[in-house]
Amino acid sequence: MPYTVETSTPADTPRPIGPYTHIAKVGQFITIGGTAGVNPATGELAGPDAYSQARQILKSFGIMLESVGSDLDHVIHVNVFLLHMSDFENMNRAYIEMMSGHRPARTVIGVNELPKPGVMLTMNLTAVTRE
Q: Let me know if residue 62 belongs to a domain.
A: yes
Tally of structural domains, the chain: 1
Residue 34 lies in a domain: yes
Task: Say whether pLDDT at 117 is over 80.
Answer: yes
In a domain, 23, yes or no: yes
101: domain range?
Answer: 6-128
Q: For residue range 29-46, list pLDDT tens digits in order.
A: 999 999 999 999 999 999
Give a yes or no: residue 58 inside a domain. yes
pTM confidence score: 0.95
CATH number at residue 49: 3.30.1330.40
Q: Is residue 22 part of a domain?
A: yes
Summarised one tens digit per residue, pLDDT across range 45-95 is 999 999 999 999 999 999 999 999 999 999 999 999 999 999 999 999 999
Report the pLDDT value the prediction gives residue 17, as an integer from 0 to 100: 85
Domain presence at residue 1 = no
Question: Mind spelling out the 3-state secondary structure of 51-87?
Answer: HHHHHHHHHHHHHHHHHCCCCHHHEEEEEEEECCHHH
User: What burial class does residue 37 get, using C-beta atoms within 10 Å of its C-beta: 0-12 exposed, 13-18 middle, 19+ buried?
Assistant: buried
Give residue 105's pLDDT band: very low, low, confident or very high (50, 70, 90).
very high
